[in-house]
A and B are shown apart, each in its own frame.
Chain A
Amino acid sequence: MNSAAPPPISAPPLPAVRTVGLTRAYGPMLALNALDLTVNRGDLFGFIGSNGAGKTTTLRILATFLAPTSGQASVLGHDVVRDADAVRHVIGYMPDFFGVYKDMEVTEYLDFFGACYKIPTAQREKTVNDVLELVGLSEKKGALIGALSRGMQQRLGLARVLIHDPQLLLLDEPASGLDPRARIEMMAILQELQRLGKTIIISSHILSELQTLCNRVAIIEKGQLIYAGPVQGVRDQMSSGLVVWVRVAAETDRAVELLKARPEVAEVAPVDGRIKVQLVDHDTDHSFVADTLVRAGLKLTGLQEDELGLEEVFLRVTRGETQ
């Protein structure tokens, strides 16, 4: 009987987050304007935009804190409006401030939120210890929250988010206000969480870190999605050709002339003692640059490929416009 049946087509895995025409108005102002977004399971998804672009509003809607004005949003298959209770069980939301009772102990704080998620008493102690271990706060179990540094408080916030083992983490500016070491530690924890199978949506202004951390990003401006996809994809879309920086010991003008004569080169310009060479194509092998200069008897002192950074991409695709 089975052999006669056509092979079953596997259902596509439900995306972690999907929004269709998601709109949110504050009076006459549109904070989100028909946002269509899909975040796949297991993604570490960067959410980029200027202040007031709609990032926090999106995260708050996904966290069921705010209701949308129109459109739909689903989290792991649950509608954020109709099935908000189910959504709350599978997400962990960390806002851009740290809602604390400073006179609470670290363990009390986590124990309380564990109870809010109805984790059984017997299991709570172990869970609290586990998440504290994960975020590196085991030694601060008995400390008062008010006595923790900003970085530690952020880590505690992350521990709170993880207390009920959610599948999706919504993190709004988790690294803001942290010193470089704390930021690096926070990013390492996020990578570890992704490795553990969590889907993470992170909004941040520190684009250089998102660039290395995230596998996919979305750029949002004036409540509208401008780009969503792999980081490399947006780079490819934005850069017209590879840029190579060259430094020669002497005869810079001659070097410029030599490079201009090459058909692979679109533009050459001396900048602050260096030469900026923009190639026609992004995928061109740039070894000919060194070859040309050395063959001409010039002494090459430096050559560096210029990768288009996420910050530059962001500046190019947005105009810094907010609502």
Chain B
Amino acid sequence: MTFLPIVERELRVAARSRFTFWSRLAAAAFALVIFIALQFIAQATRGAIGAGQLEFAILKWLAFAYAYAAGLFLTADSLSEEKREGTLGLLFLTDLRGYDVVFGKLLTQSLRAFYALLAAFPIMGLALLAGGVTGGEFWRAMLVICNTLFFSLSLGMLVSSISRDSTKALNGTLLLLVVIVGGLPLADLALAGFEYRKFEAVFSDASPGYLFSNAGGYRFSGFWICLPLQNALAWAFLVLASVLTPRSWQDKAAASIASRPRLSHRWRFGGPRARVALRQRLLAKDPMLWLSLRDRWLPRLVWTLTVIVLLIRASSLAFSFVVYSADASVLSPVLQAFLQLTTALEWLLRLALYLWIASQASRFFVDAIRNGALELLLVTPVNPWQIVRAQWAALWRTFWFPVICVVLLQLAGTAATVLQMKSYPVTSTVTMGGKTTTTRSAGFDLSVYQVTSVSVGVLTFVAGLAAAAWFGMWMGLTNRKASVALLKTICYVFVLPWIGLMFARVFIMFALIPAGIAGSPTVMLVVPMLIVGVLNLGKDCFFIWWAHLSLRVHFREKVTGDKGHRYRPSGSMPPPPAAPPVILPPGLPPAANAI
């Protein structure tokens, strides 16, 4: 008998796959490019920043973010997808147990991710040679990152084992990841009365984010408590997933639909009257729009969360402005923590909007291809562009309110900051290229910076969402898995350009120093921001244009799998053979035959 037969099979398949090798190479090359760029930056600062420290810090943060997000993109929809396709049940008709399937699936989804991480580690090790990083620090970071990858993937498996719907699986995993990385330290902070000095890790020991941020150069006493604890938690997630999977794979849809009072159905699609009203309103105008908008649970969730965040954040902004206007020294640690929390909430909402839009844009097409609905639709008079346009309109209707709320919060936040700075003059010190510039200025000296920042921020935020929507649709059409489509959208539209733009910004700042503009720190900050903002907008416009063009031209061939197929017309069709002439009965007028 073979122990874990699926795992063995997957290892053999991965060993033979070219993609395994290429993904490792790509990961190492990516890390190397970043390393070289950082080396240039470190040299440009002429020793002000330690090269090794800078390279190691950036690379390890990227590796940690990659490892922590892996569960969301790789395993969250793994078992649930098999449930939707009805293939999970076939596995359980054999002698396979829950753990066989869970570990096999874990390996299938994560082996390449792990290999890619391993390939990047030697590049990170180069930082050791550059100095400023100890061997202990390096190995601790590597251990934490590997453990975080395992933790995140296991969490994704657990959520997937109890989910069927892809969006719910992704949302559930995202929520748990956020709660674990931020919520647990926050709980400890609350226990300490929101005073950082009194902070003691209790729940935080289970948070990979807490462990990672503390596993630095100095000796962190809790390291060997946190690491095994998180590892044990990851195993517990897998064991739980192994127990739950054999109990949750059966398709209960038909039975439950027929017998239950359809509460969930009513929540998702509305009551009978609401459904009829929506049909009457939309079907005649645009049936595809109705199809995209009939499921109301995500819009309801998004709008509800947005209103909650809007209320909390707006009240905190108003409150902070009132308090600052009076006396900032009366701000208690609890209030300070509250203000920070609301800022974090706003950022979380932004992050969630990116993910939701990308996920929603791609999911419609992935599902429609999988269940054959697109094949049915493409043989009706509905043309592909109508489908795309309706999906875009549905995304707009779902997300316009949250987007406007976030923009308003951003504007309000900037206004509050500018007003506070007007009241409290600040001294700013900028060190660039060995030259230190100190500016004593009133708050309004930097108002130009703030206005530029918020303008660029708002524009890039909106353009980024539009790019995610358009590119997400294209990815949905070209990928068979919702999670892969989402991952590609996020990586191509945000992550990779963000890394490139980050470096571009630093290089532009250095390029400005010899030009003699360094005299004004405002210009030093504003000009690179503007240039990077324009580049960012250009990037988003490119993605929108490219996805738009691809959807217009290649929609049908992507659905039919007709890649590169060309029709070669061969003239007109010959007429059908003529019928023999009709012999009229005698006496009948010839015109009667013409009828």
Contacts and interface: CB of A to CB of B under 8 A. Distances in A.
Interface of A: 2-3, 5-12, 14-15, 18, 20-21, 25, 38, 60, 63-72, 74, 79, 81, 85, 88-89, 91, 93, 95, 97-105, 108, 111-113, 115-118, 120-121, 124, 143-144, 146-147, 160
Interface in B542-574: 560, 562, 565-570, 572-574
A65 B378 contact: yes
Contacts of A69: 565-568
A146 B560 contact: no
A90 to B, nearest CB: 11
Given A18-B573, A70-B567, A103-B265, A121 B283 contact: yes
A111 B279 contact: yes
Interface string B556-595: 0000101001111110111011110110100001110110
A74 B573 contact: yes
Contacts of A66: 560, 562
A116 B377 contact: yes
Contacts of B253: 102, 146
Interface of B: 253-254, 257-258, 262, 265, 268-269, 275, 279-280, 283-284, 287-288, 290-291, 294-295, 371-382, 560, 562, 565-570, 572-574, 576-579, 581-582, 584, 589-591, 593-594
A146 B257 contact: yes
B382 to A, nearest CB: 5
A48 to B, nearest CB: 23
Contacts of A71: 570
Contacts of A103: 257, 265, 268-269, 295
Contacts of A111: 279, 283
Contact of B576 (A18, A89, A93, A101): A18
Nearest to B578: A12
B34 to A, nearest CB: 40
Contact of A65 (B379, B590, B591): B379
Contacts of B565: 25, 67, 69
Nearest to A163: B380
Contacts of B294: 104, 108
B579 A116 contact: no
B379 A64 contact: yes
Contacts of B572: 72
A22 to B, nearest CB: 10
A271 B253 CA distance: 53
Given A72-B573, A88-B379, A81 B584 contact: no
A8 B590 contact: yes
A121 B280 contact: yes
Given A7-B593, A99-B375, A99-B376, A116 B287 contact: yes
Given A99-B375, A100-B371, A101-B373, A67 B567 contact: yes
Contact of A99 (B371, B574, B579): B371
A15 B290 contact: no
A38 B574 CA distance: 13
A86 to B, nearest CB: 9
A68 B567 contact: yes
A99 B372 contact: yes
A295 B288 CA distance: 77
Contacts of B380: 88, 113, 116-117
A121 B284 contact: yes
Given A98-B372, A99-B371, A15 B576 contact: yes
A192 B115 CA distance: 62
6 contacts: A67-B565, A88-B380, A95-B372, A99-B371, A116-B287, A124-B283
Given A69-B565, A121-B283, 10 more contacts: A2-B591, A7-B582, A7-B590, A25-B565, A74-B573, A101-B371, A116-B377, A116-B381, A120-B284, A160-B376
B581 A9 contact: yes
Contacts of A20: 573-574
Given A2-B590, A117-B381, A146 B254 contact: yes
Nearest to A122: B284
Nearest to A95: B375
Contacts of A3: 590
A17 B371 CA distance: 29
A121 B283 CA distance: 8
**Residue in B275, B377, B382, B576 with the greatest tally of chain A CB atoms within 10 Å:** B576
Contacts of B570: 21, 70-72
Contacts of B284: 115, 120-121
Given A2-B591, A99-B376, A115 B573 contact: no
A5 B591 CA distance: 10
B301 to A, nearest CB: 17
A118 B376 CA distance: 15
Contacts of A88: 379-381
